[in-house]
């Protein structure tokens, strides 16, 4: 998730402040914290709980810190650019005097499928990842926070009922992966959208699954003093991955 080598470096500005190559020492953390929210309009469906198992597994993973070179080039008194591993973050000086570098990546994919007999299906996959690196400089050393927040938002809609001419007995909406219903003493039956049954509260069935994950690391940084193009070239592949 975090970059481990410096591939591209920009020329230094002529201002003071953060301009130089910094060596970040970033501690290892386990998997990010995630939360899943599911909404739908199926009549009798619910999100089933994961049943407890008879086995309990406890896994602990510890790894040494990551070392990565980062270059900061100050544009003017209140803006700068951070480069790590060929990736670029624009930054600003905050009211507290810290430097905050942020970039938000967005990917939005949509699909629609229709049939003349009155069937319609849509899906949308929206992924947003915001990465923020905060740097508080104190002379030749600095401390910072590296935070990543991602939102994976998937939405499906589908006609609740449709003509046999469509050629589908069961729809494409993936409700059976997330929802269940009870019937005749049987619990936890996977919920599907069938052709001739009104399973939803509207003429269009809807399902939305949002996964939100966050990961935050506090790190330390040291000003290296490298300030030549030759030094940049030597540092292109430099770094130390986690656990090595």
pLDDT at 124: 99
pLDDT at 16: 38
pLDDT at 81: 93
pLDDT at 228: 59
CA-derived radius of gyration, the chain:
25
Cα(156)–Cα(112) distance, integer angstroms = 10
pLDDT at 14: 33
pLDDT at 83: 87
CA dihedral 193, 196, 200, 201 (to 10 degrees): 170
DSSP string of 15-29? Answer: S-TT-EEEEEEE---
Blockwise average pLDDT, block size 10, the chain, 244 residues: 35 48 87 94 93 76 87 89 89 94 98 96 98 93 95 99 96 97 94 96 98 96 76 65 70
pLDDT at 18: 63
pLDDT at 70: 87
pLDDT at 2: 42
Q: Which residue has the tokens 């003093």?
A: 225
* Domain segments of the chain as ranges: 20-49+65-234
């Amino acid at each position: 998730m975090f970059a481990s080598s410096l591939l591209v470096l920009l020329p230094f500005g002529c201002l003071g402040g953060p301009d130089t190559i910094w060596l970040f020492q970033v501690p290892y953390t386990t998997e990010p914290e995630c939360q899943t929210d599911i909404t739908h309009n199926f009549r009798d469906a619910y999100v089933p709980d994961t049943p407890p198992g008879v086995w309990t597994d406890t896994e602990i993973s510890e790894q040494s810190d990551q070392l990565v070179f980062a270059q900061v080039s100050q544009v003017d008194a209140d803006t700068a650019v951070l480069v790590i591993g060929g990736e670029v973050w624009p930054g600003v000086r905050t009211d507290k005097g810290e430097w905050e570098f942020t970039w938000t990546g967005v990917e939005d994919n949509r699909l629609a499928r229709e049939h003349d007999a009155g069937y319609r299906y849509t899906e949308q996959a929206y992924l947003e990842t915001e990465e923020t690196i905060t740097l508080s400089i104190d002379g030749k050393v600095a401390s910072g926070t590296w935070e990543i927040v991602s939102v994976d938002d998937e939405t499906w809609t589908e006609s609740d009922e449709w003509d046999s001419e469509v050629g589908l007995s069961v729809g494409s909406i993936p409700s059976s992966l997330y929802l269940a219903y009870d019937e005749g003493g049987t619990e936890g039956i996977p919920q599907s959208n069938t052709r001739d049954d009104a399973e939803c509260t509207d003429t269009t069935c809807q399902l939305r699954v949002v996964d939100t994950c966050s990961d935050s690391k506090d790190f330390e940084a040291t000003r290296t003093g490298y300030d030549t193009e030759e030094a940049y070239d030597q540092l292109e592949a430099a770094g130390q991955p986690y656990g090595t």
